[in-house]
């Protein structure tokens, strides 16, 4: 089978590619190959409690398809519905081939073609195209970043990486340790603390947190008085410019921004050791800052549903984790929010 363009991945980027190919290249043939059984990419893969965007949907969403929900920081199911609605509205579903995983891509200089090997439900197919557009993201869906901890096999409870969270995991009335303090941990901790006995967020070093409302009141006001596409485009531009400005201010005036961020945390958590738990050793935006919608992480800490511990792991025990300081944390479940494995070209073998 030949296509002028083959798009790999049916997440946000792949769907955007499909829309733009239809719009700008109507005489070119294309298809979108998706290795999984559903479209959506990240938003279909992750099922952990509280899964949400860590950017506002006016900038994470499509410029051509307004995000009309009240919440600009959206939950995973809402984003997945938005992607499916977009595919249906722009008649892209016919162009998406599910369960088609590209295993290799060879550029044939004599023919000026890409020669693809594609597995459809483990059956090998061959395709060719003139242009290969890789929209499969930057991390491995099969192998997350999972450090090996001393004696972790001795732990009697469950050890779960958020990338492999399933809906049948029961954390109600359980003691839970979440290893990490990045975006995933900051999302999971306040959500599971609503049902668990207690949650401990165990971090090796502090992270910068940027509290924000999950609803953009100005955007919601504009939606009521202006046409949807105009208000959406205006807010999208405003947010893009704000994010660029924030980044530049952080990089140019790091001490000022650091003081402001930490002072805000101090107001949210007046009885906590801010220096130990919330003062990173690096400057803002040397690593990505975590967005905290409605300050939910701080609320769970204030209400003693969650605890934050800053220490290094010595070893796993039968009942939990022993720290370098000698303290032992007990748990029924350990969640390793330790990050993702970067992957180039969606794991495709290029030649």
User: Of 156, 157, 222, nearest to 196 (Cα)?
Assistant: 157
Is there a contact between 336 and 192 (Cβ–Cβ < 8 Å)? no
**Residue 288: per-residue pLDDT:** 86
**Residue 270: per-residue pLDDT:** 92
**Residue 63: per-residue pLDDT:** 93
User: Half-sphere exposure (CA, 13 Å, Cβ side) for 239?
Assistant: 19
Crossing angle between the packed helical segments 228-252 and 254-268, to the nearest 10 degrees: 110
- 139 — phi, psi (to 5°)? -135, 155
> How far apart, in whole angstroms, are the C-alpha atoms of residue 61 and residue 52?
13
Contacts of 346 (CB under 8 A, 6+ apart): 8, 9, 35, 102, 134, 136, 137
| pLDDT tens digits, one per residue of 83-119 | 999 999 999 999 999 999 999 999 999 999 999 999 9
> Per-residue confidence at 302, pLDDT binned at 50, 70, 90?
very high
State percent of the chain over pLDDT 90: 91
| pLDDT tens digits, one per residue of 9-56 | 999 999 999 999 999 999 999 999 999 999 999 999 999 999 999 889
> How far apart, in whole angstroms, are the C-alpha atoms of residue 34 and residue 47?
19
pLDDT mean over 299-327: 96
């Amino acid at each position: 089978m030949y296509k002028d363009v083959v798009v790999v991945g049916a997440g946000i980027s792949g769907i955007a590619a499909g829309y733009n190919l239809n719009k700008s290249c109507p005489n070119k043939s294309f298809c979108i190959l998706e290795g999984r059984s559903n479209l959506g990419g990240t938003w279909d893969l992750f099922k952990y409690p509280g899964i949400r965007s860590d950017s506002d949907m006016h900038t994470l969403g499509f410029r051509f398809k307004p995000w009309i929900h009240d919440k600009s920081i959206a939950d995973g199911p809402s984003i997945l519905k938005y992607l499916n609605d977009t595919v249906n509205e722009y008649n892209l579903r016919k162009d998406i081939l599910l369960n088609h995983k590209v295993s290799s891509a060879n550029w044939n200089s004599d023919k000026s073609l890409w020669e693809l090997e594609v597995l459809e439900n483990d059956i090998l197919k061959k395709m060719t195209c003139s242009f290969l557009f890789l929209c499969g993201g930057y991390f491995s869906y099969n192998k997350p970043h999972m450090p090996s901890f001393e004696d972790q096999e001795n732990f009697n409870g469950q050890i779960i990486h958020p990338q492999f969270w399933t809906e049948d995991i029961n954390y109600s009335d359980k003691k839970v340790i979440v290893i990490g303090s990045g975006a995933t941990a900051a999302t999971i901790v306040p959500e599971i603390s609503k049902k668990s006995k207690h949650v401990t967020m165990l971090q090796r070093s502090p992270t910068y947190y940027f509290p924000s409302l999950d609803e953009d009141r100005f955007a919601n006001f504009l939606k009521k008085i202006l046409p949807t596409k105009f208000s959406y485009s205006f807010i999208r531009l405003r947010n893009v410019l704000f994010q660029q400005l924030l980044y530049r201010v952080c990089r140019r005036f790091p001490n000022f921004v650091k003081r402001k961020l930490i002072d805000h945390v101090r107001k949210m958590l007046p009885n906590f050791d801010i220096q130990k738990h919330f003062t990173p050793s690096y400057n803002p935006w040397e690593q990505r800052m975590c967005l905290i919608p409605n300050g939910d992480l701080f609320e769970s800490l204030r209400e003693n549903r969650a605890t934050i511990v800053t220490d290094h792991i010595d070893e796993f025990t039968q009942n939990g984790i022993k720290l370098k300081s000698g303290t032992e944390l007990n748990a029924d479940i350990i969640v390793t929010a330790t990050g993702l494995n970067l992957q180039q070209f969606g794991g495709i073998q290029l030649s």
